[in-house]
Amino acid sequence: MVSKLILGAIWIGFTAYTLWIAPLDRPYTWFVGKQLLSFNWIALNAFIPAIFWLMGIWSMIYGCLMFADGRMQRFRAWPYFLGSNFTGVMCLLPYLILRQSNQEFHGRLDPVLRFFERQATGFAMLLITLGLIAYALIAGDWQDYLQQFQTRAFVHLISLDFCCMALILPVTSLLKDDMARRGWSHRPMIFWSVALVPLFGPLLYLCFRPPLIRSSTTEYSQENSQQSATPDHSSTSLLL
């Protein structure tokens, strides 16, 4: 309950702050957005496209944790995942607040979930992240970025959004539940190493975490076999 209150406070605060700054009312926001989406980055400080696309990496990281979790919830995760690719934590946090902690997984992997479960997906995101960071460090101007952070609403908000993505990971039970579905429920060192190392901790976890299907399907089949082997005492008593 405490973690949900913290997540709720972050969501209310960030949403209110975004509405107060109103970045969509500023011409610079539309100019930068067009340059980013068209990959015409020459006119931009390299730190801006790097942070913008690293926000997409964060959404993918949460997607790799959310889609299996969403199977065990009363609602699906994909609308919140899609929304987080456009609005960041504003769409991600409602899912984290409304979900219930669940450390089980039943059913088969569909093509979408299979994609998010692949270790190759984690390695691809890690390589893209390294490339974006290298691009920012080599071609970017840190002092100019700091100035734009203070004067440009769009740059200000995507930077704060990036920080919020890292901040909420150790607060929510999403990572802890994902580890439990893979037999890592009693490894606090791994949890805190992943949760407290921004970006690279979750990416390395996605590269090396055990397969979901291996542990969950076995437990599920054993549970079903035990239930089928147990005699129905209620029907026996009715016959007597």
Kindly state whether residue 235 falls inside one of the protein's structural domains.
Answer: no
By residue range, what is the domain housing residue 13?
Answer: 2-219
Kindly state whether residue 233 falls inside one of the protein's structural domains.
Answer: no
Domain count, the chain: 1
Kindly state whether residue 141 falls inside one of the protein's structural domains.
Answer: yes
Among 72, 67, 62, 108, CA closest to 217: 108
- What is the helix, strand, coil percentage profile of the chain, to 5? 75, 0, 25
Kindly state whether residue 193 falls inside one of the protein's structural domains.
Answer: yes
Kindly state whether residue 240 falls inside one of the protein's structural domains.
Answer: no
Identify the pLDDT of residue 213. 53
Identify the pLDDT of residue 37. 85
Kindly state whether residue 225 falls inside one of the protein's structural domains.
Answer: no
Q: Tokens at residue 18, please?
A: 């975004």
Kindly state whether residue 234 falls inside one of the protein's structural domains.
Answer: no
Identify the pLDDT of residue 38. 84
Kindly state whether residue 230 falls inside one of the protein's structural domains.
Answer: no
Query: Tens of pLDDT along the chain (240 residues)?
Result: 789 999 999 999 999 998 888 776 677 788 888 888 888 888 899 999 999 999 999 999 999 999 999 888 888 899 999 999 999 999 999 999 999 998 888 878 889 999 999 999 999 999 999 999 999 999 999 999 999 999 988 999 999 999 999 999 999 999 999 999 998 988 899 999 999 999 999 999 999 999 885 444 444 444 444 434 444 443 333 333
